[in-house]
Every structure is written in structure tokens, then in C-alpha cells.
Amino acid sequence: LFEDTARTVSRKVAEASCLLVERNIAAIAGGTAPRTPQDERKATTFGRRTPADGLVSWSWDAIRIYNLVRAVTHPFPGAFTSFKGRTLLLWSVLPEGGDEQAAPGTVLSSAPLVVAAGRGRIQVLHSEWAEGPGQALAAGDVLES
């Protein structure tokens, strides 16, 4: 769903896993559960997640930034950007439409915090400085990608 986040998907997967175990525990314990070997010719792998995977590129459109933030929010390390050498963690955002004349990453307003994207804007609903409390952002500040 468009509103799902890493946390809500994790919860749904955990609930579905419990149901699967409940439905199949007797067959598993009794050794009668069907087994299908994996076809290694069709198998694929994917590399480990790295911290750089959470870096926001403000040149992206607002929907892509929104999708990144909700994919790596709690319980994961979060999406992030930086400003003057400090790291701003983005936990919850909303995409907004509009044609911005400001450069991507430019803070358009501070209350609420709204940032220009490559296409559209991002309203930041919940964020925090990784290093602890820090300076408030002001309109005209430019966040780094």
C-alpha cells in the first residue's frame, strides 16, 4: 500500500509467518511437510544494505524520496541528508506536488519543514539530528544529497 512503511510491512510479514507456522507445524514436526529443492539455476542474490542506501538525493522526484523514507524508516536506520556537516535523519515525510523554482534540497519553509525536490516538494513530518539536538533549519538553507 502507498502508506506502508518498513515497520508496517515487517509487522504484516511477522503475522503472516505466524499463520503459516500454525497451519503447517504438525506436518513439519511429523516430517510430512512437502519439500521443494531450490533450482540454483534460477536463484538470485542481492548484496547487503549499506548506510549509503539511505541517502536522499534531492534531485529525485518527491514520490521517490517518499518511497525511500518509508522503506528505510524504523526499525531500520532511516533515510538521511546532511546540512553543514551534520546528519538529518528523516523518519516520516509526505510528497507534495508543485513546480518549484528553487534548487533541489532548498528548504522552502521551516514550520512545517518543506524541502524542494527534483519534481515536487517533501514535507518532513518527523526528523532528528543524528548527533543530537541541533540548529533549526530556515527557509533558504540547502540540504546536501
The whole-number average pLDDT for the span 85-108 is 94
Q: Where are the domains of the chain?
A: 51-129
Closest CA to 127 of 87, 67, 100: 87
Cell of 84: 553543514
33-71 pLDDT per residue, tens:
999 999 999 999 988 888 899 999 999 999 999 999 999
Share the mean pLDDT of the chain.
93
Q: Is the Cβ–Cβ distance between 58 and 117 less than 8 Å?
A: yes
Composition of the chain by helix, strand, coil, percent to 5: 30, 25, 45
For cell 548484496, name the residue: 47
Of 4-8, 38-42, 106-110, 116-120, the poorest mean pLDDT is in 4-8
DSSP-assigned beta bridge partners for residue 88: 81, 129
pLDDT of residue 32: 92
The number of angstroms, rounded, from the C-alpha of 99 to the middle of its chain's C-alpha atoms is 24
pLDDT (0 to 100) of residue 51: 87
Nearest-angstrom CA–CA distance, 79 and 71: 9
Whole-number pLDDT of residue 125: 98
Rounded to 5 degrees, φ, ψ at 23 are: -70, -25
Task: Could you please state the CATH topology (level 3) that the domain comprising 51-129 is classified under.
Answer: Methionyl-tRNA Fmet Formyltransferase; Chain A, domain 2 (3.10.25)
Using pLDDT thresholds of 50, 70 and 90, give the confidence band for residue 1: low
Per-residue pLDDT, 137: 97
Q: Are strands 107-110 and 113-116 parallel, antiparallel or unpaired?
A: antiparallel
